[in-house]
Amino acid sequence: MSNKPSSPSRRVFLRQSMAAVPAVGLLGTSALAQTQSAAPAAQAAYTPRYFTAPEWEFLQAAVDRLIPADEHGPGALEAGVPEFIDREMEGAYGHGGFWYMQGPFAPDTHPTLGYQLRFNPRELYRTAIAAIDDWCQKQHQSTFAALSPEERDGVLHALEKGDITLDQLPATSFFAQLLTNTKEGYFADPMYGGNKHMAAWKMIGFPGARADFADWVEQPGKVYPLGPVSIEGDKA
Amino acid sequence: MIRMKPVDVVIVGFGWTGAIMGIELADTGLNILALERGAYRDTSPDFSYPHNADELAYGIRGKLFQPLSRETVTIRHAVGDTAVPYRQYGSFLFGNNVGGAGIHWNGQHYRPSPEDLELHSHISKRYGAKFMPDDMQIQDYGLTYDELEPFLEQFEVLCGTSGRAGNINGEIKEGGNPFEGPRKRDYPTPPVADTYGARLFADAARALGMHPFPQPSDNASQPYTNPHGVRLGPCNLCGYCERFGCFMYSKASPQTTILPVLMRKPNFALRTHSHVTRINLDSTGKRATGVTYIDAQGRQVEQPADLVIVSAFQMHNVRLMLLSGIGTPYDPNTGKGVIGKNYAYQMMSSLGVFFDQDVAINPFIGAGSGGVQIVDDFNSDHFDHAAHGFVGGAYIYGGQTGGRPIQQLIVPPGTPGWGAAWKKAAKESYLHATTVATHGSVMSYRDRYLDLDPTYKDVFGQPLLRITFDWHDNEYKMSQFVTSRAQDIVRQMKPKATSLTLRKPGDHYDVRQYQTTHTTGGVIQGSSPETSALNRYQQSWDVHNVFVTGASAFPQNLGYNPTGLIGGLTYNSVKAIRENYLKNPGPLVQA
């Protein structure tokens, strides 16, 4: 076997990406402001393939509260989290391809024994969103998406704690799924549709796919100077 | 049914121990066939950069794991409960494909402490047999540390393990682990450089009089050529290690230590997409005639063989023995029977350690095992347990394996799980936090075992393996004690804030949280067929031409990561096969 710690393509990739990274790029708030203004247009360009129009409105209104936009960094909307989730629904993951989905199902099992619903992610979103919008209509005479930000926070808190009873599934199961997928989309490589412009990585200081710190481990306690790169070679 | 040409040796499952068996038997000239349910995988192209640096695909969706949609296990907390399927990955991660979990492991390469191998005798002698609760059924391995030492070393030399010796021939060495069993010589390569979090941890531990040392690691610290002539390159601390393959040829795996040589041997063959469903026995039930597997097209295939090596993952080994009817299934009501007996796990706790903005931890700099510091003062029987009332212990770990943000980002205690406050905390904490964790043993008990599930089936219609497991008081006590020592270290690190995850009495085993993939037992080795399934050479007491490798042989779990011991036991076994069994096939130990 050849001892090949670094392929030519990798070296070229790193050289190119490093050259373009400004030294101040680590937390760059100015770059952040740019992505915030550019984001709505990018988001509008995406047409969901799985979610229906009312579901899409719900999803955007929900993730906007889970990770809101503010001066610290991008919100889930501008980061493209809804697009990420919609794309995940169309793949093996959304169809439950990674989960054991044979019955019988015992949804009342102790929660420490894990997910026991018969819904794959696609079915879980569809069933839960309809049920939550129904609940909001009864309580607030409005869809979830049309509620104020404070009211949406209230509904999300109640789902998280299980204070809302939904017809076909435990509210806590859906909330956990939604929050998990939201954070995945926020922090995954941008090639999956979220983390647009690597803005979430820039916010926290994660260098993404750089994946080579042989030099910096010898510099304990020193701030790492380079901004992130993505798998497809974008730099920020 | 298709019937293949007979082979001399068939290896079931082609991960670490299957590869060791293959290479060590290849020089005998025997015809060897390995059957692997998954696909072929190699560093290039399967783990290549930059595609490997994909947290979602590998770390979260589990691209290298066994698809649970095809086969999983069921779990219940107590005898009498109804088990339910492990539908999504959480607590432990099954490997898949050539290399198995040896591809996506961390590379934490420990030896057992000498007392771990004779635990029942040791505890009885030092504290008296009454020190163990009535339902605890820990046992000895049937061999001693001194007997196993050459084989533990052989596995380290294969892997190029990096580390610093603490005890060479009884002489304690500064900077190593003073509690380890005597080694004949130092590690093959020096330790990987410490990450900053590990340095802060080690300084604090030393200030308290503890004995921190670099974690023994199969992330190579420098170029290394092993005795097969296979070469590893130095680790670059990329932060994509555990759950990932290694694009740097740095993490020891079958691919980076054995396969480049073994795959070229003319008397060795590998058949992938071949899922073994039975070990076949002759009419006496005392001799195996080979195995039956399902091939890529779904056809049943009979593969005759003179010698059967069962070297799949621990749980899969147990299930195959039960499906094949080899050995008596364990019965928790009577305590009799051996297959499925003494399932055990490990108990972890962890502390998030949060510093001010001027402390640059850079958590993304990490290796699966290198660059981390360990305190072993409270593991095994390294301290007097008399006043504490429990058996076992844990090592304390300081540092981090990476800073992948979906999974490894931590926030201070009291932070909400979402919203503006979560986001602000994530931003402010990420670069300035590290981890201290405890990695603890779990003893074996009469009511903790494995059998076949009566309801749930795999994709081929075969029953799933059923786990009956929950924590016992001994382990809550152990974890509380060692976690308190970890908290002492963390206080000395003077962080701004600390979070704690500790399993307390009354907390059930929670399959949703990753703890370790170190599941053990079910086909245990020992000195008597009444109490164990295998003899000290991992040979079945019941069917002498069946050997079963891996952590399924552990009579109880230890506080260390299991792979170093697994490798040592495999070398011990294959030496006995080569030098004794092949000349005179039959029981290597008289019952």
* CATH number, residue B541: 3.50.50.60
Determine the structural domain holding residue B140 and report its residue range.
2-581
Rounded distance between C-alpha atoms, residue B216 and residue B319, angstroms: 32
Determine the structural domain holding residue A206 and report its residue range.
20-99+117-218
CB proximity A165 to B under 8 Å: no
Give, for A158, the enclosing helix (H) or strand (E): helix A149-161
Task: Show pLDDT as tens, one digit a residue, over chain A (236 residues).
Answer: 444 444 444 444 333 443 333 333 333 333 333 334 444 444 458 999 999 999 999 999 999 999 999 999 999 999 999 999 999 999 999 999 999 999 999 999 999 999 999 999 999 999 999 999 999 999 999 999 999 999 999 999 999 999 999 989 999 999 999 999 999 999 999 999 999 999 999 999 999 999 999 999 999 999 999 999 999 999 98
Percent of chain B clearing pLDDT 70 (strictly above): 100
The answer as to whether A128 is a domain residue is: yes
Rounded distance between C-alpha atoms, residue B147 and residue B149, angstroms: 6
Q: Does the distance separating the beta carbons of A211 and B239 come in below 8 Å?
A: yes
Task: Answer for the pair B325, B281: CB distance below 8 angstroms, yes or no.
Answer: yes
Q: Which residues contact B560 (CB under 8 A, 6 or more apart)?
A: B108, B110, B111, B112, B113, B116, B379, B395, B439
Reading the block at residue B249, the tokens are 């040829």
Residue B400 to chain A, least CA–CA distance (Å): 12
Q: Does the distance separating the beta carbons of B195 and A114 come in below 8 Å?
A: no
Q: Express each pLDDT in B389-439 by its tens digit.
A: 999 999 999 999 999 999 999 999 999 999 999 999 999 999 999 999 999
pLDDT band at B370 (very low <50, low <70, confident <90, very high): very high
Nearest CA in chain A to B420: A68
Residue from A9, A100, A212 whose CB has the most chain B CBs within 10 Å, to mutate: A100
C-alpha dihedral, B214 to B217 to B222 to B227, nearest 10°: 130
For residue B411, what pLDDT is reported? 98
Tally of domains within chain A:
1
Q: Find the angle CA(B284)-CA(B289)-CA(B292) to the nearest 5 degrees.
A: 120
Q: Does the distance separating the beta carbons of A98 and B61 come in below 8 Å?
A: yes
Give, for B115, the enclosing helix (H) or strand (E): none
C-alpha dihedral, B82 to B85 to B89 to B94, nearest 10°: 100
Rounded distance between C-alpha atoms, residue B4 and residue B203, angstroms: 61
The answer as to whether A133 is a domain residue is: yes
For residue A5, what pLDDT is reported? 40
All residues of chain B having their beta carbon less than 8 Å from the beta carbon of residue A217 are: 193-195, 237, 365, 371
Task: Answer for the pair B342, B135: CB distance below 8 angstroms, yes or no.
Answer: no
Nearest CA in chain A to B70: A100
Alpha-helical segments (H) within B391-431 = 405-408, 419-429
pLDDT band at B534 (very low <50, low <70, confident <90, very high): very high
The answer as to whether A31 is a domain residue is: yes
The answer as to whether B55 is a domain residue is: yes
Task: Answer for the pair A159, A132: CB distance below 8 angstroms, yes or no.
Answer: yes
Closest CA to B311 of B4, B5, B18: B18
For residue A2, what pLDDT is reported? 41
Nearest to B406 among A10, A187, A231 (CB): A187
Rounded distance between C-alpha atoms, residue B59 and residue B426, angstroms: 19
SS3 B470: coil
Number of H helices and number of E strands within chain A?
Answer: 8, 0
Q: Does the distance separating the beta carbons of A99 and B406 come in below 8 Å?
A: no
Alpha-helical segments (H) within B383-472 = 405-408, 419-429
Write the single-letter amino acid at B66.
Q
Q: Does the distance separating the beta carbons of A156 and B418 come in below 8 Å?
A: yes
CB proximity A37 to B under 8 Å: no
| pLDDT, mean of residues B221-238 | 98
All residues of chain B having their beta carbon less than 8 Å from the beta carbon of residue A114 are: 75, 84, 86-88, 90, 511-512
Task: Answer for the pair B329, B337: CB distance below 8 angstroms, yes or no.
Answer: yes
Nearest to B82 among A65, A106, A203 (CB): A106
β-strands B463-468, B73-76 pairing: parallel
Task: Answer for the pair A49, A213: CB distance below 8 angstroms, yes or no.
Answer: no
Residue whose pair of structure tokens reads 């019955």 in the numeric block: A103
Distances (CA, A) of A40 to B136, B313, B482: 62, 49, 51
Task: Answer for the pair B369, B358: CB distance below 8 angstroms, yes or no.
Answer: no
Q: Residues B104, B439, B518, B544: which is the catalytic one? A: B518
Reading the block at residue A69, the tokens are 């936009």
All residues of chain A having their beta carbon less than 8 Å from the beta carbon of residue B410 are: none
For residue A15, what pLDDT is reported? 39
CB proximity A80 to B under 8 Å: no
Residue A177 to chain B, least CA–CA distance (Å): 12
For residue A44, what pLDDT is reported? 55
All residues of chain A having their beta carbon less than 8 Å from the beta carbon of residue B197 are: none
Q: Which residues contact B14 (CB under 8 A, 6 or more apart)?
A: B22, B34, B35, B36, B98, B99, B100, B254, B270, B311
Nearest CA in chain A to B457: A102
The answer as to whether A112 is a domain residue is: no
For residue A167, what pLDDT is reported? 87
The answer as to whether B587 is a domain residue is: no
Task: Answer for the pair B75, B532: CB distance below 8 angstroms, yes or no.
Answer: no
Show which of residues 87-126 on chain A sit within 8 Å of chain B, judged by CB atoms: 93, 96-102, 104, 106, 109-116
All residues of chain A having their beta carbon less than 8 Å from the beta carbon of residue B406 are: 183-184, 187-188
Closest CA to B251 of B364, B53, B404, B102: B102
Q: Does the distance separating the beta carbons of B72 and A5 come in below 8 Å?
A: no
The answer as to whether A14 is a domain residue is: no
Give, for B392, the enclosing helix (H) or strand (E): none
Rounded distance between C-alpha atoms, residue B149 and residue B78, angstroms: 38
Distances (CA, A) of B476 to B75, B101, B390: 20, 28, 9
Rounded distance between C-alpha atoms, residue B314 and residue A221, angstroms: 41
SS3 A8: helix
The answer as to whether B589 is a domain residue is: no
Question: What would the 3-class secondary structure string for B71-111 be?
Answer: CCEEEECCCCCCCEECCCCCCCCCECCCCCHHHHCCCECCC
The answer as to whether B506 is a domain residue is: yes
Active site residue B120: no
In this structure, how many other beta carbons lie within 10 angstroms of the beta carbon of residue B228?
15
The answer as to whether B494 is a domain residue is: yes
The answer as to whether B493 is a domain residue is: yes
For residue A42, what pLDDT is reported? 45
Give, for B489, the enclosing helix (H) or strand (E): helix B473-493
Number of H helices and number of E strands within chain B?
Answer: 13, 24
Beta bridge partners of B525: B534
The answer as to whether B591 is a domain residue is: no
Task: Answer for the pair B438, B483: CB distance below 8 angstroms, yes or no.
Answer: yes
| pLDDT, mean of residues B324-341 | 98
Q: Express each pLDDT in A177-218 by its tens digit.
A: 999 999 999 999 999 999 999 999 999 999 999 999 999 999
The answer as to whether A182 is a domain residue is: yes
CB proximity A8 to B under 8 Å: no
Tally of domains within chain B:
1
Q: Mean pLDDT in chain B?
A: 98
Rounded distance between C-alpha atoms, residue A168 and residue B587, angstroms: 58
Question: Which long-range contacts does B167-176 make (Cβ < 8 Å, 24+ apart)?
Answer: B175/B213, B176/B213
For residue A30, what pLDDT is reported? 35
Write the single-letter amino acid at B390.
F
Write the single-letter amino acid at B485.
R
For residue A208, what pLDDT is reported? 98
β-strands B73-76, B84-85 pairing: antiparallel
The answer as to whether A170 is a domain residue is: yes
pLDDT band at B149 (very low <50, low <70, confident <90, very high): very high
Q: Does the distance separating the beta carbons of B365 and A213 come in below 8 Å?
A: yes
The answer as to whether B508 is a domain residue is: yes
Q: Express each pLDDT in B435-460 by its tens digit.
A: 999 999 999 999 999 999 999 999 99
Residue whose pair of structure tokens reads 């309801």 in the numeric block: B455
| pLDDT, mean of residues B259-274 | 98
Q: Does the distance separating the beta carbons of A201 and B53 come in below 8 Å?
A: no
